[in-house]
C-alpha cells in the first residue's frame, strides 16, 4: 500500500471530525481535501486501495452469491469509497 494512503487512512481512523467532514463531501471535494492536507496521491489511487481492502474483508467473511458476483464483476468506484467511509464513521 502507498505510504501516503496508509498515513491518510490512519489519520481518518484517529480523527472523528475529519471522518465526518469527508463523509459529507462529494468525490471532487475529497480530492481537493486530500491535496490540501499535503498528501501526494490521487483519488483514483485511494479508491483502488479501498477496493483491495473491501475485497480482502469480503474474502475473510462468509460470502453469499450476491457478494461473489460483486467481486467477480468488480467494485464500482463510488460504491467502494462510500462503503469505506461508512465503515470508518
pLDDT for the residue 55: 72
pLDDT tens figures, 27-53:
889 889 989 999 999 888 888 888 887
Give the DSSP letter of residue 61. S
47 vs 61: CA distance, rounded Å: 21
Distance CA 53, CA 67 (A): 14
Average per-residue pLDDT in the chain?
76
Q: What is the pLDDT of residues 2-14, one digit of tens each?
A: 899 889 888 888 8
**32 vs 76, higher pLDDT:** 32
Cβ distance 39 to 7 under 8 Å? yes
Q: What is the mean pLDDT of residues 50-67?
A: 67
pTM of the predicted protein model: 0.59
Task: Using pLDDT thresholds of 50, 70 and 90, give the confidence band for residue 59.
Answer: low
Three cell numbers at 76? Answer: 464500482
pLDDT of residue 28: 87
Amino acid at each position: 500500500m502507498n505510504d501516503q494512503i496508509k498515513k491518510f487512512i490512519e489519520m481518518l481512523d484517529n480523527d472523528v471530525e475529519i471522518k465526518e467532514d469527508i463523509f459529507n463531501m462529494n468525490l471532487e471535494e475529497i480530492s481537493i481535501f486530500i491535496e490540501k492536507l499535503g498528501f501526494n496521491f490521487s483519488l483514483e489511487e485511494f479508491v483502488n486501495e479501498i477496493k483491495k481492502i473491501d475485497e480482502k474483508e469480503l474474502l475473510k467473511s462468509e460470502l453469499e452469491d450476491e457478494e461473489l458476483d460483486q467481486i467477480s464483476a468488480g467494485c464500482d468506484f463510488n460504491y467502494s469509497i462510500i462503503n469505506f467511509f461508512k465503515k470508518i464513521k
